[in-house]
Amino acid sequence: MTTQNAINWPEKYLPGTGDNFVSNEVIVQDITATRVWHYLTDTSTWESYYDNVADISFPHGEGPKLKDDLVFSFGTFGFPPLDAHVVEFQTPSEGVPGRLSWTAKQDGKPAERLDVLHAWLVEDLPRGRVRILTQETQIGEPAAALADERPNPMLNGHQAWLDGLVGAASK
């Protein structure tokens, strides 16, 4: 039997309790969690493999590599740049999955407010495989509007991010 790790969810963002939730996962061979981690945590590489992200900035002058408690902002899904904060950061190692989570928020009128937790889990599996899981819970009217679209743009967008991440890490 194989046991796989799961995302660590703060109560506020528990899947199924927000306005929009998606889960995307790939398991591939011939790359490692360490290699994937490089492309996931170095934001200077994001736009080279994922076309749904823009305007990445670091208001406190840090970056481009993500780390615990880092504040950054980025645009995605047509929203103005979201204020993001890394709330979980664990580099993958032997027998330990990589964990990355950030909150991202947009303030304003109720129709504009958005509050999300985007989480990643990257782990090596037996037989030279790596598993990449990304899940996101969104709260707010813009999130509910995305959830009503078919297909859900966030589901497709995150799959594109996974596919691009695997492609970049495979080179």
Class assignment of domain 19-170? Answer: alpha beta
Report the C-alpha gap between 6 and 81 in whole angstroms: 28
**Does the pLDDT of residue 4 top 90, yes or no?**
no
pLDDT computed for residue 80 by the predictor: 85
pLDDT in tens, 23-52: 999 999 999 999 999 999 999 999 999 999
Other Cβ atoms closer than 10 A to 43: 19
> Across 7-162, where does the E strand assignment appear?
20-29, 53-57, 71-76, 79-90, 98-106, 114-125, 129-139
Proportion of the chain above pLDDT 70, given as a percent: 99
Instruction: Tell me which amino acid residue 62 is.
Output: E
pLDDT in tens, 97-109: 999 999 999 998 9
**Does the pLDDT of residue 2 top 80, yes or no?**
no
Residues 82 and 117 sit within 8 Å (Cβ to Cβ): no
Proportion of the chain above pLDDT 90, given as a percent: 93
Tell me the torsion sign for CA atoms 67, 68, 69, 74: positive
pLDDT in tens, 136-157: 999 999 999 999 999 999 999 9
Average pLDDT on 59-87 reads 95
Residues whose CB falls within 8 Å of the CB of residue 7, separated by 6 or more in sequence, listed in order: 99, 101, 119, 121, 133, 135
Domain ranges of the chain: 19-170
pTM for this model (two decimals):
0.96
**Does the pLDDT of residue 3 top 80, yes or no?**
no
